[in-house]
Structure 1
Amino acid sequence: MINFIGNETQTELTARLIAADREPHSVIICGEHGLGKRTLAKVLASQLLCERGDGTFCGQCRACRLIEQGQHPDVMTVQSSDTGNYKVEDIRAVVSDAVVSPNEARLKVYIIPDLDRSRQTLIQVQNILLKLIEEPPDHTVMILTARSKETFLATIISRTLHLTVEETEPAQTAAYLAEQGCDPQLSEEAVRRCGGNIGACLDYVSDEKVRKLADIAAAAVQALAENDEYELLKLFTMADQKRDSFIRLMTFMQRAVRDALRIHTGTQTPYVFSQEACKALAAKRSTKRLTAAFDILGDFSGRASANCLTSILVNALTAALIKS
């Protein structure tokens, strides 16, 4: 059975809609990398096609088993290229196929994940899908995922159900990691540094490169607290310059700055990214400056997502953070 932790509000909403024969024909699922957007898409497909027919899913019937295995003939996940871009002809093929009746289920479900990564064809893809979303066949459901709702055209946003995947509670995350047999010490570090993002926590405990990025982020926050521009630039240069690694580094730093902001404002923070670095930053910067740094990191993460070269971004990022 598909294992989706937390976010009961989202799954209960879709279950109620399906039970009332008001299932959405177009859905946008948003949330940062690792939170389970694709998993929620599979849960929704299971709710729609399960033989129970009441908006819940059993995980045992033929439809549920095939969806979990990725083999259901009426649940299609569109594949992007290695760079994350979707081919225009593949999206046109979806639109053409959508008018054809389902193979065996009552509905056909199309999942187009991580649309925000399709920077080269983002607008084209949405314009092609727009007619299908505006006037969907009765037997068609379209599920799109992205980090942010801002990825989508206003005309698509206005015609879709929006679901946001949230982090789980840290205790839930820790319990899940324990169930998976993860190393206890690494699991504790993962929850401190990745919060309730289960996918990110699993990456942390299994990938030394991810842990190295987290260490660089902690050191960079310490350098920022000391206003050491040279050290900050050196640390950014040390990090893996691949786009996904740069975005992950920005996410780690945002978590650390957020924790510093919580410390600065006296908010109870049981899981702190890095006690030493976050306390140092909280002591040296005002709420306004911490908020500005958080926003700058988000902005540069967005620039990297838009295919800007990270080797070019690091100089501007360093200057912006020191100035903030």
Structure 2
Amino acid sequence: MPFAQVFGHRRLVSLLSRSIENDSLPPSLLFAGPAGVGKRLTAIAVAQALNCPKGSRFRVQGSGFAVPGSGFAVPGSGFTVPGSMFDACGTCAACKRISRGVHPDVPIVGPGDSGAIRIDQVREIVDRAAYRPFEGRRRVVIIDGADALVTAAQHALLKTLEEPPPSSVFILVTSRPDTLLATVLSRCPQLRFRPLAADDIAAALVARGYSESDALAVAATADGSLGQALAARADERVEARDVAQRVLAHAAATAEPGRRIDGAKELLIKTGAGGAGDREQLASHLRAMASLLRDVEVLATRADDRALANPDVRPALERLTGAYQGERGVRAFSAIDRALGALERNAGVKVVADWLVLQL
């Protein structure tokens, strides 16, 4: 996947493209941000741009900008890419092998069955990186899920990050940079990947064959993650949003605790099998509620309707605005965030659902 096919993150992509063209790419980078927003795909695009024999400037839509605080800049670039950028072709043999993860000069390392990246894995890639590329111009080592590096493996990586071989680039990809050693973080300029805009997710889904209406519905409840959007079917996303609407409306209609608890049953639809499946089902409903409340705030502040994540259910949003604008909406959004955190810590789904409806 070349840069042109990375959805969103135009500022980051433009900066990376120009730094490759100017031969000023840092030898080690940290791509940090939420899961499913395109960090790994962007790392692959970097590897393709560095090794594609047909790399050239291609026309693109939009423009790129400098990334403040990223730790590196592109000399003399002006930090803009007006209408074109340096990119890989995406179709040659080298690009295809990099995309499939089978190029000899682009090893992709991730957690094994144990859920960890072991010291022997790191030693192997460090040894390989010491040699010239086998057939490409640059060796690009992608450590996907760098937060899974055991402490000993991080220490084994330090010297290479501090004094990298001249023909090698290391890209660490993580959604949890806080778990890495400070010494590792200090050696890797960090690029922060933000949640994707709903429009970017919808465009990516349409490109994968979704209808426009389904793509918009799924994108609205994907919490900025294309990976999350692709993991669930469109009808499941729509159902989660319908449940969220009913629960919010029910809570707005009554303050009586018993009736509020009855409303929690809606949140537990299709749960009961136990384990992670129940928590993910409830989390899906909660993310849909958060998406609706964000839109309620947009309507309440009379912001541009184009900022709505759920424009197709505007009448329902308008009905909710009377109850959830202002301080109550802030409290409800905060409660949903706390409930999602409790689910991540393996709290019981019924306890979380009952508690939440009493806070709305």
What is the TM-score of this pair, normalised by structure 1? 0.76
Q: Partner residue of 1:191?
A: 219
CA distance in 2, matches of 1:161, 1:204: 34
CA distance in 1, matches of 2:288, 2:308: 13
The answer for unaligned runs of 5 or more in structure 2 is: 57-85
Q: Partner residue of 2:166?
A: 138
Computed over aligned residues only, the root mean square deviation of the Cα atoms, in angstroms, reads 3.8
Q: 1:33 aligned to 2:35?
A: yes
Aligned length: 314
SS at match of 2:87: coil
1:1-324 aligned at under 5 Å gives the runs: 2=2, 3-52=5-54, 55-82=86-113, 84-116=115-147, 118=148, 122-194=150-222, 197-205=225-233, 228-229=260-261, 231-232=263-264, 235=267, 238=271, 242-243=275-276, 246=279, 249-250=282-283, 253-254=286-287, 256-257=289-290, 259-264=292-297, 265-266=300-301, 267=303, 268=305, 269-272=307-310, 275=316, 279=321, 282=324, 286=328, 288-297=330-339, 299-300=341-342, 304=344, 308=345, 310=346, 312=348, 315=351, 319=355, 322=358
> 1:114-165: per-residue Cα shift (whole Å, max 9, x none)?
334x3xx554443332232222222221212222433433322222132233
SS at match of 2:232: helix
Residues 83 and 171 of structure 1, relative CA distance in 2, 3 Å threshold = same
Asked if 2 retains the 8 angstrom alpha-carbon contact of 1:257 and 1:278, the reply is no
Q: Relative to structure 2, which stretch is displaced further, 235-244 or 256-265? A: 235-244
Residues 252 and 319 of structure 1, relative CA distance in 2, 3 Å threshold = closer
Asked if 1 retains the 8 angstrom alpha-carbon contact of 2:28 and 2:187, the reply is yes
Structure 1 residue 4 displacement after superposition = 1.7
Using the aligned pairs only, state the percent identity: 24
SS at match of 1:103: coil
CA distance in 2, matches of 1:252, 1:96: 47
CA distance in 2, matches of 1:219, 1:124: 50
CA distance in 1, matches of 2:155, 2:273: 35
Asked if 1 retains the 8 angstrom alpha-carbon contact of 2:250 and 2:263, the reply is yes
CA distance in 1, matches of 2:39, 2:129: 22
Asked if 2 retains the 8 angstrom alpha-carbon contact of 1:29 and 1:37, the reply is yes
Q: Relative to structure 2, which stretch is displaced further, 5-14 or 257-266? A: 257-266
What is the TM-score of this pair, normalised by structure 2? 0.70
Structure 1 residue 243 displacement after superposition = 4.4
